[in-house]
C-alpha cells in the first residue's frame, strides 16, 4: 500500500498542534476584479483577531499565495484592529523578536512562527470556475516555495481555501508545485499522505483496442485520460469526474485475451487490482474478445459502471467537511533552495515590435528657490498636464518622478507625492485630466484629449520606470487585442507571456501573469474575446 496512514494523536481534539484545514465553500476568487478572495481574507483576519484575544502568548504569521490576497487581508485586519484596539498591547506589540506579519509567498522564506495561517486566495470564482493558475506555484521550483511555506510553523499550520484536492486537475498543468499543492490539500483534508496520487503520464495508449474503447466512450460524452500513473502502476483509461476535473470516477483496464491466458498474469492482475482499489480506485475491466463480439453490451456495462461510480463519490461539491485537523508531518526538502521570484525568461522583443517606443515628457522646471511641494498650485498643475499629455495613461508616481527629476530632485518623498496628487485631483475637477484608480489601489492619469490608447515598448526606460504595475489596465487590454489580432488566435496560456514581451519585459513573474490573466478574464466576460478551437480570437461584431 502506498498511502501513508498516520496513527492517531493522544490529543483527540488536536486544538493546539498539527495541520488544520478550513474549507470555505461560500467564498469566491474575484478573478476579474481584485484578484483576491475577499471573503476568505475577512475570515482569516477574524481568525487573527481571535488568536490575538485567546492565545496572545503564541507568535503568528499569515502567508498568502499572491500580493492581492496579502493586501486584502491587511485591509480587513486594519479595520478589525481599529474596531478593537484591545489586542495592540497584549499581542501585536509584544513579540519584538517574532512580530506578527502578513506576507506573500515570495517574502515569507526564513520566517518561523508558532502558528502559521495560509490563505491560498486562488480558487473557484463566483461561477464555480477554476483555472489552474496558482501564482508562484506554477513556475519552476514552485514545489520548493510551497515546501518552505508549509514548514514555517513550529506548532500549528492552518490552511484557508475554497478548494479541495479533487478540484485540482493535474491534466491541465504540468507544474510540479501545483501537484504538490494537491497532495498537501488531500493530506490536510483526510490525514492520508498520498505518495502515489494518480497523474496523467502523457504516455501513448498501449494498444489500438484501448484507443477504440476510449473513442467510443468519448463519443458518449465522457472525458478520458490514457495511461494514468498510480501506485507504481499504469491504468489504461481513467474517466474524469465532470464536476471535479481533478478526480477520476473510474479506472478501466483493457485486457487482451492472449496476455491474460496465463495463470500468473491473472494472479498478478488480481494483486494489482487489490492495490489500486485499496487506494480508492474503482476498476472496471473490458476484455477485447467480449468487446469485439458484443460491443453494445460491453459499452452498456462500461457506461453503467461509470454512472454507478458517480453515485458513490464520497464528497460532492459543497459537502466536504468544513474543518479537518491532522498532524503536520509533510516531507521536508532539506535544501529549501530559494528560487528567483521573477520567473522564467522570455525572448527579447523583436525590433519590428507592434508596440511604439515609449516617449518621455521633456520638462524644464524652476521652483524659484521653493521646495517642490511648496510651489504654487497652478505651476504644479501645468507640469502635470505636460507630462500627462505626452505619456497618458501614466501612473501618478511616474508623473511625480518626472517633475522631481526635472526640478533637480533625485528622490520623491511623501510631501512631493501628496502635492502632485492634490494638484492632479484639482486638475481632474477642471476636466483637463482624468484620474482612475485600479482594484489594487494604483492611480493613473489620463489626458482627456486622447483618442486611442497606444501600446508602448518600455525596454529602453530606466529600471525604476519598467515596473509592470506602472502600466494602466487599458494599455494592457490594447496589447492583448493587438497580439490576438496579429496572431489570428493564440492559446490563453501563451497570452500573458506574449503581452509582457510586447511591453519590452525580458521576464514575467506571477504578479504580472496574474494581472494579465485577470484582464483576459474580464475581456472574455464582456464578450471581447472568444475561445475558438482552443485559441482566443477577437469577437466579431455583427
- pLDDT tens profile 412-463: 888 888 888 888 887 777 677 889 888 667 899 999 888 899 999 998 888 7
Q: Give the pLDDT band (50/70/90) at residue 273.
A: low
Domain boundary residue, one of 291, 310, 329: 310
Q: Could you read off the pLDDT of 361-381 as tens digits, one per residue?
A: 988 888 888 888 788 888 888
Peptide bond into 422 cis (omega under 30): no
> Do 53 and 120 belong together in one domain?
yes
Q: Is residue 337 domain-resident?
A: no
User: What does the pLDDT average to over 1-20?
Assistant: 48
**321, part of any domain:** no
CA triple 364-366-367, angle to 5 deg:
140
d(CA 321, CA 139): 31
The answer to which of 22-36, 49-63, 179-193, 388-402 has the lowest mean pLDDT is 179-193
- Are residues 32 and 148 located together in one domain of the fold? yes
What is the sign of the dihedral through the CA atoms of 152, 182, 9 and 324? Answer: positive
- Cell numbers for 500: 509582457
Q: Are residues 190 and 65 in the same domain?
A: yes
At which of 149, 166, 196 does a domain end? 196
Grid coordinates given for 203: 504516455
CA atoms within 13 A on the CB side of 305: 21
Residue ending a domain, choose from 310, 342, 377: 310
Flag whether 343 is in a domain.
no
- On whether both 170 and 137 belong to a single domain, the answer is yes
Same domain, 203 and 177: no
- The residue with greater pLDDT, 316 or 231, is 231
pTM, two decimal places: 0.52
Q: Whose CA is closest to 124, among 90, 88, 154, 169? A: 169
Residues 386 and 463 both lie in one domain:
yes
Q: List, for residues 506-528, the tens digit of each pLDDT value.
A: 777 777 887 888 899 889 988 99
CATH classification at residue 68? 3.40.50
For 485, the grid coordinates are 489580432
What whole-number percentage of the chain has pLDDT above 70? Answer: 80
In terms of residue numbers, what domain contains 305?
Answer: 199-310
pLDDT of residue 510: 72
How many Cβ atoms are within 10 Å of 204's Cβ, its own excluded? 10
SS in 3 state form for 188-224? HHHCEEECCCCEECCCCCCCHHHHHHHHHHHHCCCCE
Task: Summarize pLDDT for 457-469 with one digit per residue, the tens.
Answer: 998 888 778 889 8
Distance, CA of 261 to chain centre: 49
pLDDT tens per residue, range 48-87: 999 999 999 999 999 999 989 999 999 999 999 999 999 9
At residue 263, what are phi and psi to the nearest 5 degrees?
-60, -35
Query: What is the H or E stretch that residue 433 is in?
Result: strand 433-437
Q: Would you tell me how many other CB atoms lie within 10 Å of the CB of residue 522?
A: 16
Both 289 and 409 in one domain: the answer is no
Pair 87, 179 in one domain: yes
Q: Taking all residues of the chain, what is their mean pLDDT, rounded to a whole number?
A: 79
Q: What is the tally of structural domains in the chain?
A: 3
Amino acid at each position: 500500500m502506498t498511502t501513508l496512514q498516520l496513527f492517531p494523536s493522544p490529543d483527540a481534539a488536536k486544538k493546539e498542534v498539527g495541520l488544520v484545514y478550513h474549507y470555505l465553500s461560500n467564498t469566491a476568487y474575484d478573478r476579474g476584479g481584485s484578484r483576491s478572495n475577499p471573503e476568505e481574507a475577512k475570515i482569516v483576519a477574524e481568525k487573527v483577531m481571535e488568536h490575538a484575544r485567546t492565545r496572545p502568548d503564541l507568535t503568528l504569521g499569515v502567508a498568502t499565495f499572491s500580493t492581492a490576497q496579502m493586501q486584502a487581508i491587511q485591509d480587513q485586519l486594519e479595520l478589525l484592529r481599529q474596531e478593537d484596539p484591545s489586542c495592540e498591547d497584549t499581542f501585536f506589540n509584544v513579540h519584538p523578536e517574532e512580530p506578527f506579519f502578513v506576507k506573500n509567498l515570495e517574502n515569507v522564506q526564513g520566517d518561523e512562527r508558532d502558528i502559521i495561517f495560509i490563505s491560498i486566495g486562488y480558487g473557484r470564482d463566483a461561477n464555480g470556475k477554476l483555472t489552474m493558475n496558482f501564482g508562484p506555484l506554477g513556475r519552476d521550483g514552485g514545489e520548493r516555495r510551497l515546501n518552505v511555506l508549509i514548514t514555517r510553523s513550529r506548532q500549528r499550520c492552518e490552511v484557508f481555501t475554497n478548494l479541495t484536492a479533487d478540484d485540482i486537475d493535474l491534466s491541465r498543468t504540468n507544474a510540479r508545485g501545483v501537484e504538490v499543492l494537491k497532495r498537501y490539500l488531500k493530506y490536510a483534508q483526510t490525514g492520508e499522505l498520498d505518495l502515489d496520487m494518480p497523474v496523467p503520464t502523457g504516455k501513448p495508449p498501449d494498444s489500438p483496442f484501448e484507443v477504440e474503447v476510449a473513442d467510443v466512450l468519448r463519443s458518449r460524452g465522457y472525458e478520458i485520460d490514457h495511461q494514468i500513473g498510480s501506485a507504481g502502476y499504469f491504468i489504461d483509461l481513467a474517466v474524469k469526474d465532470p464536476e471535479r476535473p481533478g478526480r477520476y470516477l473510474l479506472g478501466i483496464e483493457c485486457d487482451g485475451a492472449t496476455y491474460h491466458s496465463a495463470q500468473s498474469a491473472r494472479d498478478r492482475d488480481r494483486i494489482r487490482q487489490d492495490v489500486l482499489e485499496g487506494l480508492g480506485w474503482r476498476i472496471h475491466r473490458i476484455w477485447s474478445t467480449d468487446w469485439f463480439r458484443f460491443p453494445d453490451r460491453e459499452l452498456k456495462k462500461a457506461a453503467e459502471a461509470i454512472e454507478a461510480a458517480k453515485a458513490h463519490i464520497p464528497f460532492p461539491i459543497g459537502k466536504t467537511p468544513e474543518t479537518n485537523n491532522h498532524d503536520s508531518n509533510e516531507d521536508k526538502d532539506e535544501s529549501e533552495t530559494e528560487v528567483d521570484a521573477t520567473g522564467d525568461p522570455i525572448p527579447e522583443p523583436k525590433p519590428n515590435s507592434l508596440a511604439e517606443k515609449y516617449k518621455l515628457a521633456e520638462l524644464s522646471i524652476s521652483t524659484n528657490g521653493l521646495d517642490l511641494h511648496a510651489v504654487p498650485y497652478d505651476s504644479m498643475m501645468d507640469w502635470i498636464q505636460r507630462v500627462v499629455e505626452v505619456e497618458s495613461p501614466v501612473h501618478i508616481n511616474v508623473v511625480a518622478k518626472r517633475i522631481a527629476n526635472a526640478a533637480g530632485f533625485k528622490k520623491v518623498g511623501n510631501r512631493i507625492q501628496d502635492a502632485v496628487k492634490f494638484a492632479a485631483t484639482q486638475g481632474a475637477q477642471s476636466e483637463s485630466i482624468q484620474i482612475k484608480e485600479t482594484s489594487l489601489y494604483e492611480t493613473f492619469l489620463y489626458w482627456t484629449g486622447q483618442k486611442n490608447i497606444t501600446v508602448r515598448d518600455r525596454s529602453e526606460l530606466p529600471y525604476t520606470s519598467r515596473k509592470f504595475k506602472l502600466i494602466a489596465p487599458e494599455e494592457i487590454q490594447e496589447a492583448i487585442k493587438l497580439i490576438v489580432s496579429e496572431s489570428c488566435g493564440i492559446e490563453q496560456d501563451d497570452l500573458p507571456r506574449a503581452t509582457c514581451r510586447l511591453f519590452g519585459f525580458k521576464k514575467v513573474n506571477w504578479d504580472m501573469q496574474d494581472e494579465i490573466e485577470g484582464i483576459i478574464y474580464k475581456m472574455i466576460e464582456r464578450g471581447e474575446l472568444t475561445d475558438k478551437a482552443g485559441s482566443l480570437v477577437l469577437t466579431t461584431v455583427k
